[in-house]
C-alpha cells in the first residue's frame, strides 16, 4: 500500500501547532510546579518533533527519555498488538513523569505504555497527546492534555509518518489517496 499515490491536504498549520504547544506548556508547568525534575517520556517515533518543541517551552528542569513501541509497522491501521522495542534508560520510581504521544487513535499503545510505567511506581504520571481521534477509540483512555482533536483521517507531518515518509513536514496534513 505504501506504493499507492497520494497527496497531502493541510489540516493544522505549523503556526497553530506552535501556539497550542505554548499554551499547553503553561498548563503543564502549573501541574508540575515544585517538581525537582520532570521526566518527559516520548513515545517514538512519532512524538520526537512534538517532544522537542514542548520541552523547549517548559521553563523547568526536565529529563528526556524514550519508549519505542510498534503496533502499525507500515500499515495505516493498528495491529492492536503493542510491542516495546525500546524501554526507558532511567528509573522513574518516585518521580514525576509526563508521557508524550503523537496521536491517540485506538488507545491501545497509550494504555499499554501507561500500564508498564505505572508498574514502576512514579510519583505522578500524566499524559499529553498532540492529536486525538476519539471516534477511533477502542479502549477507555484519554490524555490529560490534548493539542488538537481530529476526525478519523490518516494524517502525516510534524513527526508522524506514513511508511516512514513525511515526518519532516512542519504541519499536520491529511493523506488523500489518488487514483492512478
pTM passes above 0.75 = yes
* pLDDT (0 to 100) of residue 133: 97
CATH numbers and ranges of domains, the chain:
17-27+37-150 (3.40.50.2020)
Choosing from 105, 132, 144, 161, the catalytic residue is 105
| Average pLDDT along the chain, 180 residues, taken 10 residues at a time | 79 98 98 96 95 97 93 56 88 97 94 96 98 96 98 96 93 89
Supply 47's cell numbers. Answer: 512524538
* pLDDT (0 to 100) of residue 1: 46
Cell numbers 497527496 correspond to what residue? 7
Q: Cα dihedral sign for 128, 122, 69, 50?
A: positive
* pLDDT (0 to 100) of residue 75: 52
**Residue 105 catalytic?**
yes
Which DSSP state fits 92?
Answer: -
* pLDDT (0 to 100) of residue 84: 86
Query: Is cis: bond before 45, omega within 30 of 0?
Result: yes
* pLDDT (0 to 100) of residue 178: 86
Amino acid at each position: 500500500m505504501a506504493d499507492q499515490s497520494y497527496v497531502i491536504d493541510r489540516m493544522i498549520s505549523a503556526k497553530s501547532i506552535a501556539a497550542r504547544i505554548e499554551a499547553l506548556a503553561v498548563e503543564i508547568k502549573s501541574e508540575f510546579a515544585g517538581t525537582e525534575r520532570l521526566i518527559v517520556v516520548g513515545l517514538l517515533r512519532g512524538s520526537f518533533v512534538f517532544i522537542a518543541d514542548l520541552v523547549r517551552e517548559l521553563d523547568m528542569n526536565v529529563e528526556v527519555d524514550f519508549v519505542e513501541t510498534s503496533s502499525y509497522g507500515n500499515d495505516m491501521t493498528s495491529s492492536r498488538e503493542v510491542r516495546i522495542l525500546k524501554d526507558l534508560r532511567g528509573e522513574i520510581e518516585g518521580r514525576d513523569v509526563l508521557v508524550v504521544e503523537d496521536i491517540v487513535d485506538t488507545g491501545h499503545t497509550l494504555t499499554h505504555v501507561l500500564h508498564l510505567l505505572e508498574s514502576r511506581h512514579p510519583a505522578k504520571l500524566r499524559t499529553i497527546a498532540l492529536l486525538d481521534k476519539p471516534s477511533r477509540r477502542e479502549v477507555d483512555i484519554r490524555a490529560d492534555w490534548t493539542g488538537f482533536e481530529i476526525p478519523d483521517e490518516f494524517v502525516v507531518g510534524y513527526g508522524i509518518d506514513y511508511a516512514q515518509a513525511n515526518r519532516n513536514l512542519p504541519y499536520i496534513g491529511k493523506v488523500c489517496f489518488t487514483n492512478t
